[in-house]
């Protein structure tokens, strides 16, 4: 039996074909990937080609640093070019002590250059605070040498140091600078932007840690422009004499403060401006007077931080009587020989007013009233002028107005006006008891009389000194007429009698005629309608030579004790300084020996 062999064909499994939806998804993914690639390539192209400058700048900015370079502060000079303040270029040495790995070794190597002892320098380099000043006034040559040695973590920058070659002279006027080198008081503060100049910008490249990148050069973006200096009207020699005479009198009288100003009559230029405080005297309820902390050569006497002739207002007392007399002469209500019947005291507006010394009924000429500084006689003259006339004359003479000097902290004073006029002011204002004014305004008024009745504004800056050595003079002081020539001439003669046979005999200068006025003014108790017991401001103001005035001067002593009067406390300072100044400037003497007349008034009769 034969078997038939049956052969079965093996069925092959077909490869599954993607469905239409899968195919679409695959194409989409591929398309998106291609699109992303194209976008990335496009963005890369955009960044590398179109935004290259922007990203390059950002990259550079990460290591680029702009450093401000200070300009050299300009100097201050007196009228003859003598240096009063100057800045010396120096090197400022800084340390980033986080970068200093071996402070002991580095200190030993650096010490001779930076002029800091090794032990102290080691401590500074070990503080780990990132910014330590090693020396802020290193000599330039030493600074350049130190920079070339490339100590790790040490930076050398340009700097400067302010110095005052004449020591304390005129410090209250010049002022000073702070730790940052900016003006902090006085003229240094007032003319800060002018003196400081314009800072520059230097661009350098540093790492994130502040270390300069190798082979990177610094570039100057803007050069620093040096400041413009000041030539003052001050004469250093006269300033020294004024300060020394005032300082000695402060010590002799035990006064709290003293100020003195000498002015050129014709130009208004201030030749000396002294402002001192006696740190050995007790300031009392009025509080201490800020000082610079360095003696002027007389123990306990220092320069004030505020320049008192401009910044301190006070009730001037009898020196203010110039308002009353000049107004009365201008209005024609008196002549020098007009006779007044003067009692010892009088009640005005409910207040009792009296002369400084008791006396019976007196008959005095207007000249005698001024020379003897009679309060009651002055009131009687002021009554003829009237309220409106007195107030107008106060303004006409420049009281209550800030001067063109515009000194930092300068006060305009505090004046009574028609709106706040009290009945008693009819007697108080004519004798200088109501208005509070700075000494410079008193001097301006008397300088007006010395200048033929023409007010000339005070001036302290004579010119501007530029870096190339040129000097540009400031404009002349403004002037305007206050008194007619005839009235002014009369006032000058009457003020001479104050010195010859009145309260100002201690101001006599042999060989020269002097005109002036004393004042001894009571001091109000702060915040109360009372007077400080035994406290007075002593003033003398005047000019010389009286026939043809060249110099005017005011001296004010606050609360002297050993003698309180303007004629005995302030006038001697005037006499000493003016005597020196007249000879210093070769002002010819009249050759006449001047002596006080017999029977001169008591210096105590000018108390208000």
- Cβ contact 300:251 at 8 Å: yes
- 295 phi/psi in degrees, rounded to 5: -65, 145
Q: What is the reported pLDDT for 63?
A: 58
- Cβ contact 549:517 at 8 Å: no
Parallel, antiparallel, or unpaired for β 270-278 and 291-295?
Answer: unpaired
Which ranges of the chain have pLDDT less than 50? 1-11
Q: What is the reported pLDDT for 8?
A: 46
Tell me: the pLDDT tens digits for 87-146? Answer: 988 878 888 767 787 888 888 888 888 888 988 888 888 877 767 888 888 888 888 888
Domains of the chain: 236-460+477-606 (3.40.710.10)
Token pair for 555: 């001296």
Q: Read off the pTM.
A: 0.83
Q: Any idea which residue has 């300088």 for tokens?
A: 447
Residue 285: partners with Cβ closer than 8 Å, 6 or more residues away: 525, 526, 532
Tell me: the pLDDT tens digits for 489-539? Answer: 999 999 999 999 899 999 999 999 999 999 999 999 888 888 899 999 999
| Cα–Cα distance, 149 to 305 (Å, whole number) | 43
Which residue, among 347, 319, 326, 340, has the nearest Cα to 397 in the 3D structure?
326
- 20 phi/psi in degrees, rounded to 5: -65, -35
Q: What is the reported pLDDT for 188?
A: 98
| Cα–Cα distance, 121 to 52 (Å, whole number) | 47
SS3 label, residue 377: helix
Output the furthest CA–CA distance in the chain (Å, rounded).
189
| Residue 6: CB atoms within 10 Å | 5
């Amino acid at each position: 039996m034969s078997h038939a062999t049956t052969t079965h064909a093996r069925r092959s499994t077909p490869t599954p074909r993607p469905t239409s939806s899968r195919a679409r998804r695959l194409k989409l993914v591929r398309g998106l990937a291609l699109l992303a690639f194209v976008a990335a390539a496009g963005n890369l192209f955009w960044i590398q080609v179109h935004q290259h400058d922007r990203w390059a700048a950002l990259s550079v900015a990460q290591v680029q640093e702009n450093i401000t370079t200070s300009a050299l502060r300009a100097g201050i000079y007196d009228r003859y070019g003598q240096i009063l303040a100057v800045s010396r270029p120096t090197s400022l040495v800084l340390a980033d002590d986080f970068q200093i790995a071996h402070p002991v070794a580095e200190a030993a190597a650096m010490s001779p250059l930076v002029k800091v002892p090794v032990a102290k320098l080691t401590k500074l380099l070990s503080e780990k605070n990132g910014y330590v000043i090693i020396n802020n006034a290193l000599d330039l040559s030493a600074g350049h040498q130190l920079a070339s040695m490339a100590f790790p973590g040490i930076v050398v920058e340009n700097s400067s140091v302010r110095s005052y070659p004449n020591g304390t002279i005129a410090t209250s006027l010049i002022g000073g600078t702070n730790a940052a080198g900016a003006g902090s008081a006085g003229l240094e503060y007032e003319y800060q932007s002018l003196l400081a100049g314009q800072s520059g910008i230097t661009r350098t490249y540093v790492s994130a840690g502040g270390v300069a990148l190798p082979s990177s050069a610094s570039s100057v973006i803007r050069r620093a422009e040096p400041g413009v200096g000041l030539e003052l009207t001050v004469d250093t020699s006269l300033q020294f004499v004024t300060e020394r005479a005032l300082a000695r009198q402060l010590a002799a009288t035990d006064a709290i403060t003293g100020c003195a100003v000498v002015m050129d009559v014709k130009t208004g230029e201030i030749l000396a401006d002294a402002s001192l405080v006696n740190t050995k005297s007790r300031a009392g309820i009025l509080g201490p007077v800020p000082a610079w902390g360095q003696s002027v050569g007389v123990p306990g006497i220092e320069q004030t931080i505020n320049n008192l002739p401009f910044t301190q207002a006070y009730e001037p007392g009898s020196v203010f009587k110039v308002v009353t007399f000049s107004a009365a002469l201008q209005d024609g209500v008196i002549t020098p020989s007009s006779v007044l019947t003067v009692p010892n005291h009088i009640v005005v507006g409910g207040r009792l007013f009296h002369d400084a010394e008791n006396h019976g009924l007196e008959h005095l000429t207007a000249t005698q009233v001024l020379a003897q500084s009679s309060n009651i006689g002055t009131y009687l003259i002021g009554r003829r002028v009237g309220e409106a006339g007195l107030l107008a004359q106060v303004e006409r003479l420049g009281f209550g107005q800030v001067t063109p000097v515009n000194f930092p902290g300068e006060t305009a004073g505090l004046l009574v006006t028609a709106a706040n006029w009290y009945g008693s002011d009819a007697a108080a204002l004519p004798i200088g008891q109501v208005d509070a004014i700075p000494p410079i305004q008193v001097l301006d008024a008397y300088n007006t009389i010395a200048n033929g009745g023409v007010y000339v504004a005070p001036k302290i800056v004579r010119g501007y000194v530029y870096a190339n050595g040129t000097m540009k003079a400031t404009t002349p002081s403004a002037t305007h007429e206050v008194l007619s020539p005839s009235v002014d001439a009369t006032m000058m003669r009457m003020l001479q009698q104050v010195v010859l046979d009145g309260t100002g005999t201690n101001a006599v200068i042999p060989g020269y005629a002097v005109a002036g006025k004393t004042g001894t003014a009571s001091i109000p108790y702060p915040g109360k309608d009372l007077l400080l017991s035994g406290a007075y401001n002593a003033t003398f103001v005047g000019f010389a030579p009286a026939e043809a005035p060249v110099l005017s001067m005011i001296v004010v002593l606050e609360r002297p004790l050993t003698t309180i009067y303007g004629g005995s406390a302030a006038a001697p300072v005037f006499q000493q300084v003016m005597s020196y100044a007249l000879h210093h400037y070769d002002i010819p003497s009249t050759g006449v020996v001047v002596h006080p007349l017999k029977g001169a008034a008591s210096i105590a009769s000018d108390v208000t």
